[in-house]
Structure 1
């Protein structure tokens, strides 16, 4: 029987120690999505979201539901799901061996490994800033994550399911990402709820379609890109503010 082709690089990404893969493995062990969710400490909804995301990335279903039985049925991994777990285990072992060799060379001292790891994925979001999780607040509709950058902070608003799947905790290293088009750069701005204000200095200014594209230095060797309106006057080295809504910030876990 010819196997359907799975794009393992998409399913497994750069980092194969993934909450979604933990859920997939728990389904294999427990034979139930609800039990897998319990074992992994996530909601049933989050478990289903993980399955759907992995299946979308793989290009075919990884889990099949079982009908009947005293418990009303269960779930199991199909052949594709089992192959994903097998390749994940192989990649994890190879990754651990490679990291051990790299660390033994002593060449990683002082480097931001989560930031370097993010080079492995491609995204349309030009702004990718290394941060650490400072505080997590759960609200009725979403979770607010406070991220610490060099000398300033950034807030992200994500769903409870995303919080569970990313398994975020204070002190964790992450990458904050957002599109350049989501950033407005102005000389100054009054504080607004739900909007991040990042202080910086103008490094570069280029003409855009409907204004100016601005590169703003917001920390030591830390730059973001945004846009200023056609009437906004900003010069090189001038102080400015980058405004980006909290719900436009995406959190990526790279290590």
Structure 2
């Protein structure tokens, strides 16, 4: 059977500081997933999740198990795994050169690193710049408190493994993503412990019979798109509330 090609572009769609690449590199050094996970500061389960996700993106196995020996076995990088790391190093070097050049241009981008988020392609229309304020573990789930750029707050729920692999910590700049269909726009709403309520004013309103799409400007100036139900009374510039379940908010770390 023909060997599938290594999908470098898919596997390297993130910054070289991606925790998953760090774990892969440590596996190559230690010959053990458990040791690599420990050194990277994540759980063994998160270490395997990192390997599985990268292998899926790459389209080929990046790590192979070894058996026997005094340690009872371990893990080795495949040729594809080593090639992926070499490509990551080259991309990191090139990216550093570009950012250094942009930073040296007076009057150009005030934050060249913000370019990384422009490379993110997703079906999620709502992409909101945030800063992590705090994290609270609740069993296997971590509730992430986010401060929206311009003011306001948002909460997301992620697994412990995802929080570890993303390296989430207070002060980290992230993007909060959610689908437009996950946002319900209302004239008013009552607080709900598991739901985000974001206040603002409508800028575009569709009046389809079954409800319609509504665009909002949040109090801090960010733009948000969602849907209102049938018979809504919203008009352009009406006060509105966007309701978003915490579980519908995805946290993304830009390179």
TM-score class normalised by the smaller sequence: over 0.9
- Structure 1 residues 172 and 209: alpha-carbon distance in aligned structure 2, compared to 1, 3 A threshold: farther
Residues 119-172 of structure 1: CA deviation (Å, up to 9, x unaligned)? 212101000000000111111120000000122100000000000000011111
In 1, are the aligned partners of 2:66 and 2:76 still within 8 Å (CA)? yes
Which structure 1 segments of 5+ residues have no match?
none
TM value normalised by structure 2: 0.95
Counterpart position of 1:135 = 134
After superposition, what is the alpha-carbon deviation per residue over 1:53-102, rounded to whole angstroms, capped at 9, x for unaligned?
Answer: 00000001000000111111000000000000000000000111111001
Q: Which runs of 5+ in 2 are unaligned?
A: none
Aligned residues: 252
Give 1:125's aligned residue: 124
- The Cα of 1:206 is off from its aligned counterpart by 2.1
Residue in structure 2 matched with residue 95 of structure 1 by the alignment: 95
Q: Taking structure 1 as reference, are residues 198 and 238 closer, same or farther at Cα in structure 2, changes over 3 Å only?
A: same
Deviation at 1:15, TM superposition (A): 1.6
Q: Which residue of 1 aligns with 2:146?
A: 147
Please, which moves more after superposition, 6-15 or 119-128? 6-15
Superposition CA RMSD, Å? 1.5
Question: Any conservation in 2 of the 1:183–1:225 contact (CA below 8 Å)?
Answer: yes
Partner residue, 1:29: 29
- 2-side partners of 1:32 and 1:78: how far apart? 13
SS at 2:102 equivalent = helix
Give me the whole-angstrom Cα distance separating, in 1, the residues matched to 2:71 and 2:212: 61
Using the size of structure 1 for normalisation, the TM-score is 0.95
